[in-house]
Amino acid sequence: MLYLVHMVVRIPDTVPAEEAARIKAEEKAYSQSLQRSGKWPSIWRVVGEYANYSVFDVESNDELHTLLSQLPLFPYMDISVTPLARHPSAI
């Protein structure tokens, strides 16, 4: 199942810079492992924002929820999910 996921990150100013850097490093490692596994085949930065659009390829809604909720930045994210279906004109 394919999903388009929009993630907007909002780390509060109250999080110390060293902690934010640690969380971001963990986020990068986790997201890259999901990309290598094929679960997260595409990620695109939103210009001028701390946000991205990503495509996830997973077996179920539950698997997507689990993967997203394990993101180290998850507590600081606003996430919207759109299920995708193949377009009949796609080649």
Over residues 2-26, mean pLDDT: 98
Over residues 15-37, mean pLDDT: 98
Q: Per-residue b/e over 36-72, b at no fewer than 16 CB within 10 Å?
A: eeebbeebeeeeeeebbebebebeeeeebeebbeebb
Domain assignment of residue 63, given as a range:
2-84
CATH of the domain at 67: 3.30.70.1060
> Does residue 9 belong to any structural domain of this protein?
yes
Inter-residue contact 85 to 66 (CB < 8 Å): no
At residue 67, the pLDDT reads 98
Q: What are the beta bridge partners of residue 42?
A: 55
Q: Given pLDDT bands bounded at 50, 70 and 90, which one contains residue 21?
A: very high
Over residues 47-76, mean pLDDT: 98
Percent of the chain with pLDDT over 90: 100
> Does residue 63 belong to any structural domain of this protein?
yes
> Does residue 48 belong to any structural domain of this protein?
yes
> Does residue 62 belong to any structural domain of this protein?
yes
**Domain total in the chain:** 1
> Does residue 89 belong to any structural domain of this protein?
no
At residue 20, the pLDDT reads 98
Over residues 70-76, mean pLDDT: 98
